[in-house]
Amino acid sequence: MKKETQLISAGRSKKYTQGVVNPVLQRASTVVFDSVAEFKEAAKNRGNHALFYGRRGTNTHFALQEAIAELEGGAGCALYPSGAAAIANTLLSFVKSGDHILMMDSAYEPTRDFCDKILQGMGVSTTYYDPTIGAGVSELIQDNTRVLFMESPGSITMEVQDVPSLVKAAKAHGLITMLDNTYGNGLSFRPLDFGVDISIQAATKYIVGHSDVMMGVSVATEEYWPTLRENSYLLGQCCSADDAYMALRGLRTMAVRLKQHEQSALQVANWLSEHPLVDHVRHPALPSCPGHEFFKRDFNGSNGLFSIVLKQGNQDALDALVEALHHFKMGFSWGGYESLITTNLTMKGLRSQTGWNFGPVVRLHIGLEDVEDLIADLSQGLDVYASKL
Ligand SMILES: *Cc1c(COP(=O)(O)O)cnc(C)c1O
């Protein structure tokens, strides 16, 4: 079965749908039992998609959890109220005081801040590694290293990681491997197929796909699923049935949305790579992106997200560019149907190991608007930019 087909049927068990296409929307805190025998049976199955208590989920949640576990090829999927919560709680589920984490230097900023501001205070230390380090990560592994954390491609600067080499090094030392797969989404990249133990996504992005729900998901292998499930439960993690319903609804159309995002973004990226103001384009499918060879080897496709590095600039010119655009709104998220832009003049504070010796970075999310309209918009925006240099 092709993945596009799988995405349509995953999680659609009659238990959850009661005979219609979509799962029932079951909002609940309390589950009630008619007999002690029924209660005991439910208690026995409580980690196993059976009604027990609201925080353990309802049939709406179970349908989504099964669909995403199938998409990512894992034993189970934990749900969280945001992508940031998924990352924080997945890490918290596996580290204790005295442990050490290896974190890539181009990690999503709140992931980095969680390590520096929360885990540090709990006695868990973090070393940042160059995202392009590959097998060289072995040299950074200490006796107390517990987790190797990856994100591929990295946030904003888009380095694609050599995941098989990183995993091999980590496994030789018995580390747990986690990967923020928000970009790879389970269709374009499946970390568990490459030996990663836990794949995490901000479902807020392409799974939900319409910029109207915050959610995080973590999918683990058979080995790590029971600990992830129970520890996330103890940390009080859950999400509303309405949000789970919306995420599953988004998931059903993700493949077709991604194809359009991918096609339009490639067209815009190719156009930008010829633009005189652009130093280089960091789109994983283009050779100018660090780690492009790993993207070609390991990914099934790209999507609407990429960055461009400008030859020169200043904050006033960047602000003028953003103000001049009509279809690209300034916004921190991505993965919805709309085009977005963020700018970074120097990348200051976002990297500690790998410096930044290039010009300003502009990150674009190419939405589902007509691509000619988007190119025309960027073209006039860059003319305004040039006039401010
Ligand atoms: C947006 C994002 C997150 C966080 O997701 P939220 O749902 O906004 O908390 C995590 N990782 C990456 C790569 C992201 O882009």
- CATH number of residue 324's parent domain: 3.90.1150.10
Q: Is the CB of 88 under 6 A from ligand 1?
A: no
Q: Measure 20 CA to ligand 1 centroid, in angstroms.
A: 32
Residue of 108, 128, 183, 224 marked catalytic:
108
Domain range for 332 is 254-387
Residues 137-172 have pLDDT tens digits of 999 999 999 999 999 999 999 999 999 999 999 999
**Nearest CA residue ID for atom 4, ligand 1:** 83
Residues 292-307 have pLDDT tens digits of 999 999 999 999 999 9
Q: Measure 384 CA to ligand 1 centroid, in angstroms.
A: 31
Do the beta carbons of residue 63 and residue 20 sit within 8 Å?
no
**pLDDT-based confidence at residue 22 (cuts at 50, 70, 90):** very high
Q: Measure 132 CA to ligand 1 centroid, in angstroms.
A: 21
55: annotated active-site residue = yes
355 in a structural domain: yes
Q: Is the CB of 182 under 6 A from ligand 1?
A: yes
Residues 207-264 have pLDDT tens digits of 999 999 999 999 999 999 999 999 999 999 999 999 999 999 999 999 999 999 999 9
205: annotated active-site residue = yes
30 in a structural domain: no
108: annotated active-site residue = yes
Q: Is the CB of 239 under 6 A from ligand 1?
A: no
**Number of alpha carbons in the 13 Å side-chain half-sphere of residue 102:** 29
Residues 54-84 have pLDDT tens digits of 999 999 999 999 999 999 999 999 999 999 9
Quickly tell me which residue has 């709140």 as its tokens: 110
Closest ligand 1 atom to Cα of 333: 1
Q: Which residues pair with 330 in a beta bridge?
A: 341
269 in a structural domain: yes
Residue of 99, 105, 162, 180 marked catalytic:
180
What pLDDT shows up at residue 366?
A: 98
363 in a structural domain: yes
Q: Is the CB of 336 under 6 A from ligand 1?
A: no
**pLDDT-based confidence at residue 14 (cuts at 50, 70, 90):** very high
Locate the DSSP E strands across 13-167. 76-80, 100-104, 125-129, 145-151
Q: Is the CB of 83 under 6 A from ligand 1?
A: yes
Q: Measure 81 CA to ligand 1 centroid, in angstroms.
A: 11
Burial 247-269 (b: 16+ CB within 10 A, else e): bbbbbbebbebbebbbebbbebb
Question: What CA–CA distance (Å, rounded) separates 166 from 158?
Answer: 17
Question: What CA–CA distance (Å, rounded) separates 39 from 51?
Answer: 10
277 in a structural domain: yes
Q: Does pLDDT of 349 surpass 90?
A: no
377: annotated active-site residue = no
What pLDDT shows up at residue 151?
A: 98
Q: Measure 72 CA to ligand 1 centroid, in angstroms.
A: 17
* Number of compact structural domains in the chain: 1
Residue of 56, 146, 190, 205 marked catalytic:
205
Locate the DSSP E strands across the chain. 76-80, 100-104, 125-129, 145-151, 176-180, 198-202, 216-220, 278-282, 305-310, 329-330, 340-344, 361-365
What pLDDT shows up at residue 72?
A: 98
Percent of the chain having pLDDT more than 90? 98
Q: How many CB atoms lie within 10 A of CB 55?
A: 11
What pLDDT shows up at residue 1?
A: 87
Quickly tell me which residue has 């652009």 as its tokens: 278
258 in a structural domain: yes
pTM of the model: 0.98
Average pLDDT of the chain is: 97
What pLDDT shows up at residue 235?
A: 98
293 in a structural domain: yes
Do the beta carbons of residue 218 and residue 232 sit within 8 Å?
yes
21 in a structural domain: no
Q: Is the CB of 108 under 6 A from ligand 1?
A: yes
